[in-house]
Amino acid sequence: MNIVILVIILYMLIVLGIGFWAMKKTKSSEDFFVAGKQLGIMAVAMAAFSAAISGFVFVGGPGLAYKLGVGTLWLTFPTSISFAMAWIILGKRMRLLAETRGCMTVSDAIYARFESKNASFLAALASLVGLVLYLATQISAFAFILSPIFGWSFKTAVIVGMGIVLLYSVAGGMLAGVYTDVFQGSVMAVASLFVFGYALSNGGGMANMTKVLAQQVKPEFVGPWGVLPASLAMGWFFCLAIGIVGQPHIAHKFYMIKDIRKLKWGPVIAAVAGMLGGLLWLSVGLVVRYKVAIGEIAALENSDLAISVFLDNYAPKILAGIIYAGIASAVMSTADSFINLASAAIVRDIPKAFDKKFTSEQELKYGRLSVVILSILTVIISFVFGKSGVAILGAFGWGTFAAALAPTLGIGLNWKRATKQAAFWSIFIGLGLNLVLEIGSKMGANWYAVIFKPLGIYNGTFSLVISIIVFIGVSYLTPESKLKEDIEAIMNA
């Protein structure tokens, strides 16, 4: 355990060092929110991968696989194609918007396209809600990983984790997040490969684990759906694939690219890194369940501890230290992205809807203040919901963004007939419906149990599909607007 703590501290020092270096380069709100629009493709691709994956894959994922089987991988398998989807559907047009309109947020893009304050305000609100939920996921993942290592309670670990992110985010903004993403994303991608190797060797190979788990648990556990209904598993794949188009923490990365030509290799880099994370998810969850099935270890009280159990018992200490530190810093840099985006929603997007605009210096100052307020809110949410499970909380956030924003951004930027009324209603219904369904599900509401639970569907998918239908339907029912010349040029490019 001493080697583990040593590696964690060393890793953290490197990451914090990068963070403070970034602080010195952060002089304007453009630096704070979009890293000065000066990034190369490796930085953007690794930032996109890290924003998408993070604590969700490395902590929640193995836990879900342990509990529910192979079918949970549908949450991460889209990575082989979803980044390409985002790049194809959004990449070029978002980057051109940054160039022509100075867009820094998703809400800016929606305003530029539709010239609707209502739609952009709702987009900012949707971003804020989803980002805070996602942030709570990251901090909860951090707490799960580090509390047993340092002997802290879950709540103490949440406070420590949020405190480090706060320091980091106030200082360096998006620059800090992105450059640490390159470092820790690269380390985690490679380390995932080693973890996969150790997991396979400890399980006697994948074929052996498959056979034993099929016999000792049940065959469905290692089948493509796991112990889940097929409709839920497919729903996860759908929402986690195309829903990427509505994720502000990914769409926003396109603004940061220095040269639009750099869009070329981005999805390959991000997809490879994501797929390596998927190998970790698959192998760790199964090998820990295998060890329980053959009686070598006791059943886990909390499935999110699967990664800790594996690293503590079956991986070399240095590798365990790297993974723990990597998870912690992945959480921190992803949380930094989220908190800065949420801060941008508060100091730029929402005031803009009321015709209020701050100067760059004011945006920087208020941006840092809102980071503090959001941190406190996140700690509260983590205390209340963190124990529900890291991956489920992450799915809540992803589904909310997908339903609220994917049609408006993904279809709206590629279809001239789309109208501002459609954008407003799609965001409103997507956001509202998903929140109502998720809260109903989590609170065990009777109406949810009677109407939706028997359907065996993923709320995010259901809400996203409704949002798509509303977006296209309302567009056809409302008058088409004339596009500004530069927006038309962007949509023709």
Partner 1 sequence: MKNDNWVKILFAGAILMLISQIAKIPLLFAVSFPVVFATWMILGAIRKNQIGQGLKLSIVSLFAIWVIGFLAMNLMNHSVFTKTILAFMPGTSIMIYLIWLLPFFVGTLVYSLRFDKEYLAEEDIKAFQKLHKEAEQK
Which region among 128-136, 305-313, 372-380, 462-470 touches partner 1 (by CB under 8 A)? 462-470
362 contacts 32 by C-beta, under 8 angstroms: no
410 Cβ partners below 8 Å, 6+ apart?
89, 90, 242, 245, 246
Q: Give min distance, CB of 114 to partner 1, in A.
A: 16
CB-nearer residue toward partner 1: 18 or 96:
96
CB-nearer residue toward partner 1: 5 or 472:
472
Q: With binding defined as CB under 8 A, does residue 17 bind partner 1? A: no
Q: With binding defined as CB under 8 A, does residue 3 bind partner 1? A: no
CA atoms within 13 A on the CB side of 319: 20
Three-class SS state of 48: helix
Task: Give the position of tokens 């009777």.
Answer: 446
Among 159, 415, 478, 481, binds partner 1 (CB under 8 A): 415
Q: Give min distance, CB of 477 to partner 1, in A.
A: 12
Q: With binding defined as CB under 8 A, does residue 469 bind partner 1? A: yes
Q: How many residues lie near partner 1 (CB under 8 A)?
A: 73
Among 58, 87, 196, 324, binds partner 1 (CB under 8 A): 87
Q: With binding defined as CB under 8 A, does residue 77 bind partner 1? A: yes
Among 28, 40, 150, 265, binds partner 1 (CB under 8 A): 265
Q: Which of 282, 345, 340 is nearest to 68 (CA)?
A: 282
Looking at the chain, how many residues does it have? Answer: 493
Q: With binding defined as CB under 8 A, does residue 456 bind partner 1? A: yes
Task: Considering only residues 193 through 232, tell me which ones interact with partner 1, judged by CB under 8 A.
Answer: 205-207, 210-211, 214-215, 218-220, 222-225, 229-231
Among 5, 6, 14, 84, binds partner 1 (CB under 8 A): 84
Alpha carbon distance 103, 112 (integer Å): 8
301-330 footprint of partner 1 as x/- string (CB under 8 A):
------------------------------
Question: Tokens representing 447?
Answer: 């109406």
Report how far apart, in Å, the C-alpha atoms of 72 and of each of 67, 392, 402 are: 9, 11, 19
Amino acid letter, 124: A
Q: Which of 143, 20, 61, 18 is nearest to 391 (CA)?
A: 61
Three-class SS state of 105: coil
Which region among 25-33, 235-243, 359-367, 375-383 touches partner 1 (by CB under 8 A)? 235-243
Q: Give min distance, CB of 214 to partner 1, in A.
A: 4
Residues 23, 11, 19: CA angle, nearest 5 degrees = 5
Among 35, 44, 146, 242, binds partner 1 (CB under 8 A): 242
Q: Give min distance, CB of 376 to partner 1, in A.
A: 38
Q: With binding defined as CB under 8 A, does residue 241 bind partner 1? A: yes
Q: With binding defined as CB under 8 A, does residue 492 bind partner 1? A: yes
Alpha carbon distance 462, 444 (integer Å): 18
Chain-centre distance of CA 371, in angstroms?
A: 18
Q: With binding defined as CB under 8 A, does residue 102 bind partner 1? A: no
Q: Give min distance, CB of 493 to partner 1, in A.
A: 6
Among 4, 85, 199, 280, binds partner 1 (CB under 8 A): 85
Report how far apart, in Å, the C-alpha atoms of 126 and of each of 177, 397, 400 are: 22, 10, 8
Question: Tokens representing 355?
Answer: 């015709």
